[in-house]
Amino acid sequence: MYFNGDPSTRKRVDLGGRSSKERDRQKLLEQTRLERNRRLWVKQQNASALIIQKWFRGRKAVEAEHSRVREQFYGTYGKHCQNVDRHSFGPDSEFLRQLLFFFNAQNNDDFTILVETCRLLLQNVRDSGDIVSLFAGVNYSTKHALVGYRVKQLALTCIWAIYQNRKQLKDQLVTVSRDSSLTATLLLEAVVLLIDPKLPWACKVVGYLLQKNAFALFREIVLTGKENTRSDNSIRNASPLERILSLMIPHIGQHPCICPNIDPQYSFSSQMLTIPLLWQLFPSLKEIFATQGLSQHYIHQMAQCVRNVLPNDVSVECPGYACLLGNTVETAGAALSHANCSFEMAIDLAAVTTFLLQALPPIKSSSPEIRQSSTMDEDDMALPDEMEIVLNKDLEQQIAQAMHSRFLLQLTSVLFGGISRVSNSNHGLVDKECNENKKWPSLPEQLSYLPGDVPGWLLPLAVFCPVYKYMLMLVGNEEFYEQEKPLSLKDVRCLIVILRQALWHLLWVNPVSHSNSVKLVKNTSPYNGNPVESIKQRVSLVASELLSQLQDWNNRQQFAPPSDFHADGVDDSFISQAIIDGTKANDIMKQAPFLVPFTTRVKIFNSQLLAIRQRQGSHGVFTRNRFRIRRDHILEDAYNQMSALSEEDLRGLIRVSFINEFGVEEAGIDGGGIFKDFMENITRAAFDVQYGLFKETSDHLLYPNPGSGMIHEQHLQFFHFLGTLLAKAMFEGILVDIPFATFFLSKLKQKYNYLNDLPSLDQELYRHLIFLKRYQGDISDLELYFVIVNNEYGEQTEEELLPGGRNQRVTNDNVIPFTHLVSNYRLNYQIRLQSSYFMRGFQQLIKKEWIDMFNEHELQLLISGSLDSLDIDDLRMHTNYAGGYHSEHFVIEMFWEVLKGFSLENQKNFLKFVTGCSRGPLLGFKYLEPVFCIQRAGGTASEEALDRLPTSATCMNLLKLPPYRRFVPVIGSANLMFDFILIIFAVLVHV
């Protein structure tokens, strides 16, 4: 066939290799599938339309029937119930049957009829005094089924009518009023009448209401009416709604009550106890709930299912967890003080309290404005979660007042069964009781909802720890140390020992599968059937958190020796394991380092540093960097040359040669000693307050200068560099004399500072804020506003503590947020950038997990050592001798005698002359590397000795001491720059 110019006749070719028949088949199948789906969709639409039509027809039929019965009702009893008498309530009357059939709460006429019905019911009962015969006639036994049905329907209809019209009735819902003709009062009083416990149908009616989720309806009714409460203070009776609740909560299925169990989600506990400040609305209900039988039932119910049954929060500031906690704990004291309060009751209360405390937003501030004032940019250190969510002030106050020391003592006395005896015992007895065969009391077998092999001491600790930890968050320094709240310091010390022993048992003696997994169950309730391992993890977590917090309190003002926190059994095997990830010892160092003595932790820290140096050195990572540093420009030269070093370079060897004031390089080869001297000099210069980067507290402790930017344009880069310098000193084991303020050391641990930390910065400001908290008069008279005044280098500025703070006066209602805002500003916000840059530089060399092994006091020792570390007797004990000297040589004996008599400052000068560092090793001179050595220098002739002075080799910690026979110093030696040498030999001459 020849091409005729028509392209449409060209044969189509499928490059995929399929034939046209196959393509047509696939197309046909796809069209068939689409057609089938379309027919199915049409069929479903038709079916749905038929259902809707039936529903509409059915609804119209029901509405028509309602209208017919309603008209019939009007004809018989009148549109306003004018034809109703007492016989209308009887079993043979159609009055209630018809009313309950057609009643619509949204219909105004129906609602009016129901209200009138309740008025007539109350009036007839008052007149006759017999409600049973009113509904049942002369023979209740034969009519009880009909009567019960009508009564429970009538009670539910009244509650439902109030619920549907609660917004219109909001001023009457929780009101105690003299006017008994109020609409809501009539409806609620009718319900009170119908559920009287003396009536034969009481349980049936209440049980029916419970099954219909009446407490969920009451919750919405109360929440609507609570904001409009205007009770007549002269009336002391309970409101009708309060009386209904009081009559319903005793129906807990215990004899003689026969009410069935209901869905916990709609119980009194989950629906009503989650209403903010419930007991302020219903004080009489509180008295009834607090009775031992009821509180035990409802608290046990909460312990079983509190995790999954709480309703939506009322507001962000009133979360259901917090409301439930406040309402529960407020009544717990009465239950715990009851004569026959059971251990099971205390355990249930403990379980609920523990779970709610974990879910509760931390109470560190009571104003949402704190969140606004604490907003930081990307260069700031992130704030912890504690500042993100705050509670309603009244709700916070309810919890704080309820969880006082008396509650804690009541709870622990039941849980521990003899805690007072332990508290009054001596330290040794506590240790003995805690250690002996690891025997602890067991929980009763009745606690079937716990795993069978849970040790009995776990749950008391699981509860006590978060409760007490929470209470510590609410007290100030004076309350804790002076007033000894919430527990006496003697009891606290005993508690430390108990917790220490328990925690060591969990983490070392009988550890859980893996301690690191404890964080995975932080918010897991161990009371809902979780495995034993989870419970053990939970206890180990809360116990370690509380002990860490108690250690912080002990560091502020010591009330217990540090050894109280140290576990027995830390040996060389523990140390060898501690530096290996995944071991028990390593896990303990991460979770509870305070269990390990400080000296042991220092050894572990040094081992970790040594391992890194050796590991990286073996791979050739260490590089040598040599810097020329002018002594009179030490900081600038070091910054210019070292700030650009990489992390690998910083970990490597750094060697320094000094340039004197004449521009000449000083003699000497840096084998490590000159670098030590360099580190001491540069840190002394950089952290000197005259340089402007740091300031001093009244106790001469250093912290970043908030006004550093006014002095140095690149102040943040300098802070980064200084953080690196400090880390380098620690990395090389060089102690530097830099006394930091405690609150600033917290920044290296990435901890947040609070009001109780303010004394470490400004003791006077702290006293003023405490004065404001305790002020009994009208604080607004003091004319304080939410602003803070800064005065840096004569320039005075004002900063608002929250938006619009200049116009917001401090009053008695907001003084607590004010104190927290001030402390937050001074401790955190004002130096946030300086601290952030310093920490970044520090973490280039020192990992956070290493620092976390130490508290702030210990971290200062790690940086600077202590005066105790400069022990001349210890130095003498660990000194080697060479060149003919020995420990009993007369020159050596006279040398040590004179050196020991020096002032501390001259002893430090001597140590620097020999080792390059004025501070002794943190763990003693036993750990000085290389070991300190005194070598005989020169000949034996006295004339030769007179021409020489001692010299040193700081890289080897070596003192070269001539063999003096006449101790007369020679003036003019090159070494006379070390003034202390003249003092040494001047003293020896006199000897």
Query: Which residues does the annotation mark as catalytic?
Result: 955
Given a contact cutoff of 8 angstroms between Cβ atoms, the answer to whether 698 and 763 are in contact is: yes
What single-letter amino acid sits at 852? D
Strands 958-961 and 933-936, how do they pair? Answer: parallel
User: Helices (DSSP H) in 319-439: which residue ranges?
Assistant: 320-336, 343-359, 369-373, 393-402, 405-412, 419-424, 427-435
Rounded to whole angstroms, the Cα distance separating 53 from 59 reads: 10
- Signed CA dihedral, 731, 732, 735, 739: sign only: negative
Q: Give SS3 for 341.
A: coil
Please tell me the distance from the alpha carbon of residue 772 to that of residue 758, in angstroms, as a whole number: 15
Closest by CA position to 113, among listed 125, 103, 101: 103
Strands (E), 801-884: 880-882
Q: Which residues contact 983 (CB under 8 A, 6 or more apart)?
A: 902, 906
Pairing of strands 625-630, 654-659: parallel
The continuous run of DSSP H or E covering 3 comes out as: none
Amino acid at 712: H
526: phi then psi, degrees, rounded to nearest 5: -80, 10
How do beta strands 702-704 and 625-630 pair? unpaired
Strands of the sheet with 958-961, listed across from one edge: 880-882, 933-936, 958-961, 951-953
CA distances from 731 to 460, 529, 606, 863 (A): 43, 48, 9, 10
Alpha-carbon gap, residue 309 to 755, rounded angstroms: 36
Helical (H) or strand (E) element with 632: none
- The answer to whether 976 and 956 are in contact (CB under 8 A) is no
Nearest to 441 by CA among 349, 507, 346, 338: 346
588: left (phi over 0), alpha (psi -120 to 50) or beta: alpha
Token pair 């005075």 is at which residue? 796
Report d(CA 890, CA 200) in Å as an integer: 109
Indicate the residue type of 716: L
Evaluate the CA torsion angle 244, 247, 252, 253 in order and state its sign: negative
DSSP assignment of 52-76 equals HHHHHHHHHHHHHHHHHHHHHHHHH
Going by their DSSP bridges, the two strands 694-696 and 951-953 should be labelled as unpaired
Q: By the 8 A CB rule, do 184 and 169 touch?
A: yes
Spell out the residues 6+ positions from residue 525 whose beta carbon is closer than 8 angstroms to its own.
306, 307, 351, 354, 355, 358
Question: Which residue has 């704190």 as its token pair?
Answer: 370
DSSP 561-606: -GGGGPPTT--HHHHHHHTSTTSHHHHHHHH-GGGS-HHHHHHHHH
DSSP class of 127: H
Residue type, 160: W
Taking the C-alpha atoms of residue 623 and residue 645, their distance in angstroms, rounded to an integer, is 11
* The one-letter amino acid at 734: I
